[in-house]
Amino acid sequence: MKAAVITFPGSNCDRDLAVAFQAAGAEVVRVWHKDAELPAGIDVVGLPGGFSFGDYLRCGAIAARSPIARAVSAFAQGGGYVLGVCNGFQVLLETGLLPGALMRNATLRFVCKPVMLEVASTDSAFSGGYAPGQHITIPVAHHDGNYCADDATLDRLEGEGRVAFRYLENPNGSMRDIAGILSENRRILGMMPHPERAIDPHHGGTDGRALFAGLVGALVAA
């Protein structure tokens, strides 16, 4: 199984994401934002956290218009798997691959701490390694993680089982405690918490391992 991890100017979790994929058994290729195409044979693309292009204009807005973003969009629209974490989630929203917007935290402060999540849906390759309703602890680190959408979109996400993770103690004011959402085909996941920072016991916990192991296992089996 082959994963591509994209690096934008200002990305700071790209290495962490690559290590997480490798630890789960994936071959990882690093891709620069100016590349116009993804390498051949890619199974999943990872969009990392950080502050792409300094978060100027809007978080993820400039990255969503980079050359590689067009290739990622085409890959996703062709049925490819994409994982966007934190700033990567912001990029997915800016490209239109996922609905909604990520606004400034309700506290107007940067939040950086472990948070407890509930696994709201296991009906995806990303979340299939967890049990329904399982509680997991994953770190967050963001200033603009307040997920917002209109009521019709929120109702559709919930009705279609596309809310992957919810906050048990909402750190940012996200509507309906949403921490991560899936695309209609469940092959795209955007989430604010950082599962790649929860794969090593020396870093405080390993609850993120099941996401990467489940994803790699599902794709290898497919």
Could you list the active site residues?
Answer: 86, 194, 196
How many angstroms from the chain centroid is the CA of residue 131?
Answer: 19
What's the residue count for the chain? 222
* Separation in Å, CA 49 to CA 89, 110, 197, 217: 8, 14, 11, 23
Q: How far apart are CA 113 and CA 111, in angstroms?
A: 7
* Separation in Å, CA 139 to CA 5, 148, 205: 20, 20, 9
Which pair of tokens denotes residue 54?
């300094």
Give the single-character DSSP code of 38: P
Which pair of tokens denotes residue 124?
């995806």
| H helices present in the chain, as ranges | 14-23, 67-77, 87-95, 151-159, 209-221
Tell me the Cα Rg of the chain.
16
